[in-house]
Structure 1
């Protein structure tokens, strides 16, 4: 079979590419893993769906964040993880996942995902939207005046000094152990 140019099909031409690769596309590499995003900004035909391929190394987590534009659907590809989702009025739920599981986060609910295993956790974040959008709690607090964060959260410089103005969607978390702690 002859390979055709991306826009040439057996019965004519398609107006835009209908395939893309996530290898290196819009990748955010941080200590602990990476996030690769496919949406209408780098895959123009994608008008109704956006996705992120997330890689969490052991001892890493997808930092606390929320999505301001839509619900999140997840598909876990490899490894195992734990997600905590925060709703209003102090309500939170924690769920454990492994390869083949599907997760869901309602619109604008805060959440984070930890790799709880000894191998790399890979999963997809998928949105019914043409654009991927997230808000990092860490970055949000770092960009808020220090006095406001200090006074409202009653925190000291040990927290304020480690907040990052640059978003790191994947971070290593302190105190991680591969083995359950004795309770």
Structure 2
């Protein structure tokens, strides 16, 4: 099922901020992310090895990586296994990386955006609930919310605010994600919690039209959550 709607702010706790109010906040930050994206890409390109170094790397690096056998990053809501230039050296300079994500029932990929990379998500098993927020040529913000099933592809453009969660309570969700960057995901990932905590509470309360006291329960860490879980 697919629908388009404007994001609404409906609550005052962390869940509401991350779920619906987050879309508005992500949209506000999105413009700056999109404006900076080209600059980030140009900087990254200038730091890549030259052609000779890339060719030499391809000749001397292994071309096989056992993705699902790699040591996983473990989170409350699931696991993340990645092949990037740090774990799979042949990818250096190739503008590509791959992640295998497994979300347990109740698992949520933290709402986030990538300043300098798009992502393609192939759904292997389970059912995912998706939300993607982006800007459009008429100057508006638009939210798309939909479900994805095994065999489906979901594309999240560079700079678009997005997240997905496991829609089922009886089975895990497995997704293979391809990025057009060789960097580790957390080097090109701005999560909603860190974004919220980069804003003074007085400003955030004004933007969300809620009392500042309503934000007291939000954790103050500025770090990636990556994968979390409903409680």
| TM-score strictly above 0.5 | yes
More strand by share: 1
Match of residue 15, structure 1, among 31, 53, 60: 60
In the alignment, what sits opposite 1:101?
Answer: 152
Cα contact 1:150–1:160 (8 A) shared by 2: no
Q: Compared with structure 1, are the counterparts of its residues 144 and 36 closer, same or farther at alpha carbon in structure 2 (3 Å cutoff)? A: farther
Match of residue 144, structure 1, among 188, 199, 203: 199
Q: Distance in 2 between matches of 1:165 and 1:69?
A: 20
Q: Distance in 1 between matches of 2:196 and 2:150?
A: 33
Runs of 4+ deviating beyond 6 Å: none
Unaligned runs of 5+ in 2: 1-57
How many residue pairs get matched?
161
In the alignment, what sits opposite 2:81?
Answer: 36
**Residue 134 in 1 paired to residue 179 in 2?**
no
More helix by share: 2
Deviation at 1:172, TM superposition (A): 1.3
SS of the equivalent of 1:91 reads strand
Q: Compared with structure 1, are the counterparts of its residues 98 and 149 closer, same or farther at alpha carbon in structure 2 (3 Å cutoff)? A: same
Aligned ranges for residues 60-79 of structure 1 at < 5 Å? 60-79=107-126
Deviation at 1:82, TM superposition (A): 1.2
Cα contact 2:79–2:102 (8 A) shared by 1: yes
**Residue 54 in 1 paired to residue 101 in 2?**
yes
